[in-house]
Structure 1
Amino acid sequence: MSSELVENTLIHVYAVCDAVEVARRVFDKMPERGIVAWNAMLAGYAKSGCWDEVVGLFLRMKKPCGVNVNDVRFDDVSLIIVLSACGRLANLELGEWIGDYVEANGLSRNLTLMTSLLDMYAKCGNVDKARVVFDQLERRDVVAWSAMISGHSQANRCSEALDLFHEMQKANVEPNEVTMVSVLYSCGVLGAMETGKWVHFYVRRNKLKLTVTLGTALIDFYAKCGSIESAIEVFEKMRVKNVFSWTAIIHGLASNGEGRRALELFHLMKEANVEPNDVTFIGVLSACSHVGLVKEGQAVFLSMSKDFGIKPRIEHYGCMVDILGRAGLINEAFQFIKNMPIEPNVVVWRTLLASCRAHKNVLIGEESFRRITELEPAHSGDYILLSNIYALVGKSEDALRVRSQMREMGIKKSPGCTMIELEGVVHEFFSEDDEHSHSKEIYMATEEMIKRIKSVGYEPNIADARIDAEEEDKVVSVSHHSEKLAIAFGLIKTKARATIRLSKNLRVCTDCHNATKLISKVYNRKIIVRDRNRFHHFQYGSCSCNDFW
């Protein structure tokens, strides 16, 4: 047996046994190394998750090489391993070099190599380049489809991810766990309940194992769609739960207004000897905030470092400001910010500003606004919050002054977009939108809806109208906000008493919040709205947020 064969075998054995450092010593002592040794070493590093070492070793391989295939010492196996490393490290530069090499040397007929290439592009965020590779494939297997769907999900191009999934279904390609996890993520972002439920049905019908990853994805999906009871059902059926599973259900409960249940789960998590991480504590602190548990929140915040050795991040400090602010302890929240060991960011100050609006604190509201504008360019939401504070305390001239400043500075309110999924199709609505194919029918239903809620006390809040709207047009403007159009569409396209689920890109405005409470009462509907901050469960004329959001 030749010494090279022995050394190659040793490298492989050591690598398989996770003794990659020993394998490297054998590799380095070899007088001459063939492609088998290089690939064995690359594979060993990949198996151990040493992605930087994979890239470093490959750069040594290609350093003396030109672009001619006869000059290089690597093959398609080497390239597949390195492309995986490029995807993990987001090393697009090296990945593109490999892509050019593949094209220049006629290797594009290798399905595994091309799938690895598109996966690399997708993981590096270049989904358009991934699509080019995908379209070149002679045959698309589940790995290729999953890479495309996952890439679009990670790039927050979730509508396209679901379109790809539907294409995959038409192509009769069975999804795998990677596919389903990516689809569930996109469904959660879009509030696409029906598609996500189909995935869950597929899992049950095919008696697939509810792994930790898949179970956690289902919990996250249901929670983001406002179906928290379904999320709990999945959680309880999971035989194995890790910190991510517990964290997902705690966050889901907190964002859906079930703060006390979130805290109960947190205590059960500790009893199960699952150690929380920093993200878990964000969920727990949010839960305390939503149900007004100030002392409990303070105790949790202190226990992070004391009991678990977790140093609070800016997000945790922001949660504490929210806890104090929601409870009306505005001065305490302000002092808390001043005493923070790290510099507060705009999110922290914006959280305090929102609390000032809720509790009509002009002085600290003005200071919060000043701090925000020092940290970042003007944002329409901040001006609107300050204007609303003035309006709430009767300072109408100051409120108008702030609105005028917005006009003068050319600051426009971000366009509100509300999404509703019906029969697997996600419909998008914008304020005063007339682009929908059922636009005429929707506007007629909206007018009827406004008429009915006015009969039980609804009065339009014109402070939430478009800034550039004329005085006489402001009532019409707020009546045609995206939420109201989406709700009207839901009312005419769903069965009586069916739950209506919406997702919105911005914080729900006061007018739409008041209107939706009355709509839920008049039409006897449960309406679940996920806005930028949290979930609102409207039913019987009230909201789960208790009018603080």
Structure 2
Amino acid sequence: MATAVHPAAALPATAAPSPPRPPPGRADLGHVPQLHAALIKSGELTASPKSFHSLLEAAADGASPAQLAYAVRLFRLGPRPPLSAPCYNVLMRAFLRAGHLEDALLLFVEMLDEASIWPDQHTVACALKSCSRMCSLDAGRGVQAYAVKRGLMVDRFVLSSLIHMYTSCGDVTAARVLFDAVDDKGVVIWNTIMAGYLKNGDWKEVVEMFKGMLEVGAPFDEVTLVSVATACARAGDSKLANWIGGYVEEKGMLRNWNLVTTLVDMYAKCGKLGEARRLFDRMQSRDVVAWSAMISGYTQADQCQEALALFSEMQVSEVEPNDVTMVSVLSACAVLGALETGKWVHSYIRKKHLPLTVALGTALVDFYAKCGCIDSAVEAFESMPVKNSWTWTALIKGMASNGRGREALELFSSMREASIEPTYVTFIGVLMACSHNCLVEEGCQHFDSMTQDYGIQPRIEHYGCVVDLLGRAGLIDEAYQFIRAMPIEPNTVIWRALLSSCALQKNVEVGEEALKQIISLDPSHSGDYILLSNIYASVGRWKDAAMIRREMKDRGIQKTPGCSLIELDGVVFEFFAEDSNHSQLREIYDKVEEMIDKIKMAGYVPNTADARLDVDECEKEVSVSHHSEKLAIAFGLMKLRPGTTIRLSKNLRVCTDCHSATKLISKVYNREIVVRDRNRFHHFKDGSCSCNDYW
């Protein structure tokens, strides 16, 4: 009935940060100058190349700029025997550790100019690593040319570095050519090419490559399994995911927290939340990646209340969320319409100065839009330092579904002026804006421009939007002919869009044909039968309406119950039509009765066509008064302060009776009421709705 989602209340006081620790394995460099002086005094520095190399290595092993500068001065100015390739390698590795990539590469070029020093395989590997991090493909090819000339291509370390360089620079094809040319592939080379495919988003290639490894008995290790498990998660390969999970447990690899975290993410993204949670609960130490993977799994599986509950546990555990965590939490809040929880998350993001990445900023825009707070969505949009097409699309769709179609179309124009290319999803938002605002001609122009101007082939969703556009405008015959002329086979989404329009326009004949087509594709969806039944009832054909309901019963099809969610003080409450499971049930129904009596005085007449048909006439009025949104609104009136906006979301389309009643409730009680139904938002205020009674 109600789920507590109080992340703010669970947040502990911020702990003082621990003092930074020196990197593991680093020597205490305070002794290096003394050692340097001792070697000079003894004469070892100039007499022994090994002593100089050891001193240089000790100096270069530090992490601070001052220590690196000392190593460079020693390399350039200190008394020493002739420099060798190992000395250059020491300094190149130090530059790489410090992020001085060009300096590392310049040392390699300097060696080429030295007649007496030949770069070895370690030098080449360092140079290639520098090219990889700089994404410098041309420089990498130059290093490869040297490796070929010197006969170093037989070295596995060089080959692995070269494959990594090509994949880092996006040339996976060249990396694969090199990989295929290696006869005796070790586990490092396998891991390198698989990591390259992973980085470039070729999930299926990683999965297929690993299956090939199993067939030929190629060696693999825990690093391999991390890559493959990650690819399984993205590709959704449940069968291989099960094999990997079983293998890891059988071989006792669960002590590797990085691998276990990856498995949690893999199971969650493959829809195996039970397995993911089992592993997650067994982890003795969970970092932010593990928590984020589990929360993301719940969110992606539409188990959003569980996601927020787990987020609350994360706060208690004193693991600080990062931007990835917050994307999933905001997505869960968006689905539930949990505005207060999401606003707390936004406040936390600002307080902790989390980077407003494109993904996080877009999640904020989407969250506010899906909670009906378009002005806040616009503010979040404008605060983002970088936006991509998905960010623009989120706001365009948000404006369209909130009844601000003209603004959505203006935003689309601004998007094009900003040279941001629209995606196929962008056009869904654009067509929705036209549909919800009865802009038939403009909508058809945008549909045509997809192919003509942007080269985007319309998908089934776009055709559905056009059918909805025509049908809502009363052009039922045109919508039907449009479906018949479609170049792709219409699916249930298309026919349902037509059936919904027939319900709005009370068109029995086309509605019957639409249901016939739907039943041939998906005979078990209750909403389709209900729509045709409502069409019959709206024109007074009660026997036909009852016949449809009997057909549903004979087929064993259960009506999807209406369900409305409302959030109060961080707690999400769930109401069903004619609910009988609430601790304050009597008070809620008393409030509903009071509410109905008041709006009747303002002119409300119950639309019993939206009532259950299995009750007599005198009970139909009571039936419509107990729809889930009326119960949720009554609860909001009871609990929220006077003047506070009531916000709720519903799993079905708002019926005609509830729409009429809510308009009057907003006027009588002087409340703004925001209802998100299956298709769009309705902003009720002063007796009017943002949809202009067009939904």
* Shorter-chain TM-score range: over 0.9
Kept in 2, the 8 Å contact 1:419–1:429? The answer is yes
From 18, 43, 47, give the equivalent of 2:199.
47
Query: CA deviation digits over 1:490-541, x for unaligned, max 9?
Result: 1111110101111111111122111111111111111111111111111111
Q: In the alignment, does 2:267 pair up with 1:115?
A: no
From 23, 29, 37, give the equivalent of 2:189.
37
Query: CA deviation digits over 1:75-117, x for unaligned, max 9?
Result: 2112111111111111222222221121112111111111111
Kept in 2, the 8 Å contact 1:464–1:511? The answer is yes
Q: What SS does the aligned partner of 2:682 have?
A: strand
Structure 2 distance, partners of 1:397, 1:343, is 34
Q: CA deviation at 1:191?
A: 0.6
Structure 2 residue aligned with 1:193? 339
Structure 1 residue aligned with 2:221? 75
Stretches of structure 1 that go unaligned for 5 or more consecutive residues are: 66-71
Q: What SS does the aligned partner of 1:239 have?
A: coil
From 444, 453, 458, give the equivalent of 2:599.
453
Structure 2 distance, partners of 1:470, 1:410, is 23
* Change in CA separation of 1:400 and 1:214 when aligned onto 2, cut-off 3 Å: same
Structure 2 residue aligned with 1:137? 283
Describe how 1:177-188 pairs up with structure 2 within 5 A.
177-188=323-334
Structure 2 residue aligned with 1:238? 384
Kept in 1, the 8 Å contact 2:575–2:631? The answer is yes
Q: What SS does the aligned partner of 2:619 have?
A: helix
- Report the number of matched residues: 543
**Which stretch of structure 1 is more off in the superposition, 439-448 or 260-269?**
439-448
Q: In the alignment, does 2:444 pair up with 1:292?
A: no
Q: CA deviation at 1:409?
A: 4.7
Structure 1 distance, partners of 2:631, 2:321, is 35
Structure 1 residue aligned with 2:534? 388
Structure 2 residue aligned with 1:68? none
> What's the RMSD between the two structures over aligned residues?
2.1
**Which stretch of structure 1 is more off in the superposition, 346-355 or 291-300?**
346-355
Query: CA deviation digits over 1:370-421, x for unaligned, max 9?
Result: 3333332154333333333333334444444444544555544211110001
Identity of aligned residues (%): 62
Q: In the alignment, does 2:323 pair up with 1:171?
A: no
Structure 2 distance, partners of 1:7, 1:314, is 47
Q: Which runs of 4+ in 1 moved over 6 A?
A: none
Structure 1 distance, partners of 2:207, 2:545, is 58
Q: What SS does the aligned partner of 1:209 have?
A: coil
Asked which structure has the greater RCO (Cα within 8 Å, sep 6+), the reply is: 2
Query: CA deviation digits over 1:3-46, x for unaligned, max 9?
Result: 34443443444444444444444444445333333322332332
**Which stretch of structure 1 is more off in the superposition, 105-114 or 142-151?**
105-114
From 455, 461, 468, give the equivalent of 1:315.
461
Kept in 2, the 8 Å contact 1:407–1:467? The answer is no
Output the TM-score relative to the length of structure 1: 0.94
**Which stretch of structure 1 is more off in the superposition, 407-416 or 83-92?**
407-416
Structure 1 residue aligned with 2:631? 485
From 399, 403, 407, give the equivalent of 1:257.
403
Query: CA deviation digits over 1:45-90, x for unaligned, max 9?
Result: 322333333233333443355xxxxxx7322112111111111111
Stretches of structure 2 that go unaligned for 5 or more consecutive residues are: 1-119, 122-154
Kept in 2, the 8 Å contact 1:407–1:468? The answer is no
**Which stretch of structure 1 is more off in the superposition, 444-453 or 498-507?**
444-453
Kept in 1, the 8 Å contact 2:538–2:609? The answer is no
Output the TM-score relative to the length of structure 2: 0.75
Structure 2 residue aligned with 1:274? 420
Query: CA deviation digits over 1:449-479, x for unaligned, max 9?
Result: 1221122122222222223334443222222
Q: In the alignment, does 2:307 pair up with 1:161?
A: yes
Query: CA deviation digits over 1:285-343, x for unaligned, max 9?
Result: 11011111111111111111111111112211111121112212222222222222222
Structure 1 distance, partners of 2:159, 2:553, is 74
From 226, 230, 247, give the equivalent of 1:101.
247
Structure 2 residue aligned with 1:212? 358
Kept in 2, the 8 Å contact 1:247–1:280? The answer is yes
**Which stretch of structure 1 is more off in the superposition, 310-319 or 10-19?**
10-19
* Change in CA separation of 1:40 and 1:500 when aligned onto 2, cut-off 3 Å: same
Specify the code of the residue in structure 1 equivalent to 2:381. F
Kept in 1, the 8 Å contact 2:338–2:572? The answer is yes
